[in-house]
Amino acid sequence: MKHILIVDDKEENLYYLQALLTGNGYIVELARHGAEALVKARQNPPQLIVSDLLMPVMDGYTLLRHWKSDAKLKKIPFIVYTATYTEPEDEKLALSLGADAFILKPCEPEDFIARFVEVLAKGVVATPDSTSETNNDHSDTLKDYSVILIRKLEEKTLQLEEANQFLQQDIARRKEAEDKIQHLAYYDLLTNLPNRLLLIDRLQHTLAMSARHHNHGALLFIDLDHFKTLNDTKGHSVGDLLLVEVAKRLQTCMREGDTLARLGGDEFVVILQDLSEDSSQAAVQAETVCAKIISAINLPYYLDSYLYHSSTSVGVCLFRNQEFTVDELLKRADIAMYQAKNAGRNTQRFYDPTMQAALEARAALETDLRLAIKKNQFRLYYQMQVDHSGNVHGAEALIRWQHPQKGLVPPLQFIPLTEETGLIIPIGHWVMETACAQIKRWESDPATRDLQVAVNVSACQFHDSSFVERVIEMLSRHKIKPGNLKLELTESLVLDNVEEAIMKMQALKSYGVLFSMDDFGTGFSSLSYLTKLPLDQLKIDQSFIRNMCMNNRDAVVVQTIIGMANNLGIEVIAEGVESETQREFLEQNKCNLCQGYLFSQPLPVDAFENKLRQMHTYQLSTLIGRE
Ligand SMILES: Nc1nc2c(ncn2[C@@H]2O[C@@H]3COP(=O)(O)O[C@H]4[C@@H](O)[C@H](n5cnc6c(=O)[nH]c(N)nc65)O[C@@H]4COP(=O)(O)O[C@H]3[C@H]2O)c(=O)[nH]1
């Protein structure tokens, strides 16, 4: 088997030729440059050498020169296989140095093998015998060789310079892009201030520093007052102008080393560092910065030639020694900012833990309420509405929450939150559904079939676009007499949008549903809207009933409401009647209906029905007694 030496600095070329030649039955030896090839060939001369030209350590031309001047090697055929030196003079030089073939890369395997076999069969064709050459010929060849090498070198240098220049430009472009990405990631586009991400990073750093030096720091949460109104009325571009100006003014209130960041919208945060070790002094320092900020923000603005005045609410949270996490600090400063808002805005407040406790309790209550809906923990109690003869005309349905740990929770402890969170919609739906089902059951008993059941409707529920359809759907599904359902609305609910209230009430009224105005007298009762609303009943608020026998003003209010209702032909009912004196006063003043503890507390259905039966028996017995 023939032994072939392959010389190339590229692994893939070596691998390719090795595979090709071993596949054709040759034994292959590899070298990575000319010097290695010479060593190997001198130790174990091959039958043929295939060599690349451009290689490190020793290039192919030099190898060829050494090869052809080595007595032991010069008869061994030399094939040049190159992808770099492709010009005719390159080939001419190789051949003049004694190469037996000059093959350009890449070459089809069959063509390569054909040339290879041909050279191998011929043996050495044009080995220039260095000893027989004239000195002149030899120096000419060497001169050619150096010229070509220099030219190639210059070309390569130029290529490298170009490549290098391109690389430098590419690196500069990448760096610029990276800087831009970095800026986008850490800075707010509008104001160019650090954003939340950078703020958190700086805050972490400040906390660590404060732990080392034991100084206080302060986190200021700054929110512009009524910014939304400006945005909504003048547009976002004017809003943006204000934010940019605010950012500039805030910067003037900072010391070097403090951080001012924009969290988004109209929310800015300031980190003050290196405040006093003493907490009260640190508080004074923070307060001073707050005062500066508030008065800077208060100065007038010219936004696109529009004169504007702004103010801000600032929440402050002092910190020291990494006692709190970044999130905790931000939360506290945010809570303090809400305290500032609640205190009337344009002011600052320091974080107050009682407020946080209240907020946490509120969040826990909300979670509990969601669970209560799922677990069906609500109950409906009924409180009777009675006339002066003791006849029960109706009942008010009042919700209770049967809490697994807290026991029976009264509605005032949870209804306000359900109204804020919208949970009143599913809860109110459940109340109405339960009340309708109860009305249906009571319809089958002569003692209860004419009871009017009053259901409280909260504003959120009433304003819901599907309210009217829902009520009608329930009435028809339960097949109840609509006149047995009375909806209690409050004055404020109606005043939210009188036109909408009239439309919805009239729609339900046409089905026969009744309406009562709850807590009457507490709002801005106005005769003009009273006459427009399809009302069946006015319910005098219990605050007037409570005091009417002691306080002449309340007595006058009660008398006025009764007189007004009677004149308008609207039924009137007094709520919270607790004493016989109150009942007598109401009877004397022609308020026929009462609701209150004097008659009964709100009761679960069974107890309500028992009470009803007792009252009926009592009435019968007094009637019989009278006879
Ligand atoms: N001191 C005193 N209080 C009396 C007397 N008679 C009745 N009360 C109480 O007065 C409240 C009357 O209900 P409201 O004014 O509609 O006021 C209700 C109503 O606004 C709301 N609420 C109750 N149930 C519901 C409901 O199902 N849906 C909605 N949206 N609100 C409800 O919660 C409020 C409070 O309900 P409750 O705690 O059940 O309180 C009831 C009732 O128990 C009395 O003689 N003395």
Taking only the tens place, the pLDDT of each residue in 420-431 is 889 999 999 999
Q: Which long-range contacts (CB under 8 A, 24 or more apart) does 529-533 make?
A: 529/494, 529/495, 529/498, 530/564, 530/568, 531/568, 532/498, 532/502, 533/494, 533/501, 533/502, 533/505
Most confident stretch, 154-163, 178-187, 468-477: 468-477
* Ligand 1 near 386 CB (within 6 A): no
Beta-strand ranges (E) seen in 13-106 are 27-31, 48-51, 78-82, 101-104
- Give, using CA atoms, the residue closest to atom 28 of ligand 1: 456
Query: What does the pLDDT read at residue 621?
Result: 67
* Ligand 1 near 399 CB (within 6 A): yes
Neighbours of 166 (CB within 10 A): 10
The pLDDT tens digits of the residues spanning 7-29 come to 999 999 999 999 999 999 999 99
In the numeric block, which tokens belong to residue 271?
């980190």
* Ligand 1 near 121 CB (within 6 A): no
CA 383 to ligand 1 center in whole angstroms: 9
The pLDDT tens digits of the residues spanning 355-376 come to 667 777 888 999 999 999 999 9
Neighbours of 355 (CB within 10 A): 16
Lowest mean pLDDT among 149-153, 544-548, 550-554: 149-153
Q: Are 605 and 382 in contact (CB under 8 A)?
A: yes
**In the predicted model, what is the mean pLDDT of residues 351-356?**
74
**In the predicted model, what is the mean pLDDT of residues 327-353?**
92
**In the predicted model, what is the mean pLDDT of residues 114-134?**
67
Nearest ligand 1 atom to alpha carbon 541: 15
Tell me which DSSP letter residue 187 carries: B
The pLDDT tens digits of the residues spanning 466-519 come to 999 999 999 999 999 999 999 999 988 888 788 999 999 999 999 999 999 998
Query: What does the pLDDT read at residue 145?
Result: 66
The pLDDT tens digits of the residues spanning 257-267 come to 999 999 999 99
pLDDT band at 433 (very low <50, low <70, confident <90, very high): very high
- Of 396, 398, 581, the residue with max ligand 1 atoms within 8 A of its CB, to mutate for a pocket test, comes to 398
- Give, using CA atoms, the residue closest to atom 23 of ligand 1: 398
Whole-angstrom distance, CA of residue 287 vs CA of residue 285: 5
Query: What does the pLDDT read at residue 129?
Result: 46
At the second CATH level, the architecture of 368-540+569-578+594-626 is: Alpha-Beta Barrel (3.20)
* Ligand 1 near 383 CB (within 6 A): yes
Could you tell me the sign of the dihedral formed by the alpha carbons of 361, 367, 368, 373, in that order?
A: positive
Question: Collapsing DSSP states into helix, strand and coil, what is residue 54?
Answer: coil
At the second CATH level, the architecture of 196-352 is: 2-Layer Sandwich (3.30)
Q: One-letter amino acid identity for 158?
A: L
Query: What does the pLDDT read at residue 138?
Result: 56
* Ligand 1 near 380 CB (within 6 A): no
Same fold, 3-163 and 196-352: no
* Ligand 1 near 597 CB (within 6 A): yes
CA 398 to ligand 1 center in whole angstroms: 6
In the numeric block, which tokens belong to residue 68?
């052809």
Nearest ligand 1 atom to alpha carbon 410: 38
Whole-angstrom distance, CA of residue 527 vs CA of residue 463: 23
Whole-angstrom distance, CA of residue 446 vs CA of residue 448: 6
- Give, using CA atoms, the residue closest to atom 11 of ligand 1: 576
Nearest ligand 1 atom to alpha carbon 461: 30
**In the predicted model, what is the mean pLDDT of residues 273-279?**
89
Q: For residue 147, is pLDDT > 80?
A: no
- Give, using CA atoms, the residue closest to atom 21 of ligand 1: 411
Q: For residue 130, is pLDDT > 50?
A: no
Query: What does the pLDDT read at residue 281?
Result: 85
Q: Give the burial class of 138: count Cβ atoms within 10 A of its Cβ; 0-12 exposed, 13-18 middle, 19 or more buried.
A: middle
* Ligand 1 near 415 CB (within 6 A): yes
pLDDT band at 627 (very low <50, low <70, confident <90, very high): very low
**In the predicted model, what is the mean pLDDT of residues 42-48?**
95
- ipTM passes above 0.95: yes
Q: For residue 137, is pLDDT > 90?
A: no
CA 510 to ligand 1 center in whole angstroms: 28
- Of 385, 456, 492, 593, the residue with max ligand 1 atoms within 8 A of its CB, to mutate for a pocket test, comes to 456
Whole-angstrom distance, CA of residue 261 vs CA of residue 270: 6
CA 396 to ligand 1 center in whole angstroms: 9
CA 382 to ligand 1 center in whole angstroms: 10
pTM over 0.95: no
**In the predicted model, what is the mean pLDDT of residues 114-139?**
64
* Ligand 1 near 431 CB (within 6 A): yes
**In the predicted model, what is the mean pLDDT of residues 346-362?**
81
* Ligand 1 near 458 CB (within 6 A): yes
Q: Are 351 and 336 in contact (CB under 8 A)?
A: yes
Q: Report percent pLDDT > 70 for the chain.
A: 93
* Ligand 1 near 90 CB (within 6 A): no
The pLDDT tens digits of the residues spanning 508-530 come to 999 999 999 998 877 766 677 78
Domain ranges of the chain: 3-163, 196-352, 368-540+569-578+594-626
Which CATH number does 3-163 carry?
Answer: 3.40.50.2300
CA 613 to ligand 1 center in whole angstroms: 24
**In the predicted model, what is the mean pLDDT of residues 139-147?**
65
Q: For residue 337, is pLDDT > 60?
A: yes
- Give, using CA atoms, the residue closest to atom 32 of ligand 1: 456
Q: For residue 227, is pLDDT > 90?
A: yes
The pLDDT tens digits of the residues spanning 371-412 come to 999 999 999 999 999 999 989 999 999 999 999 999 999 999
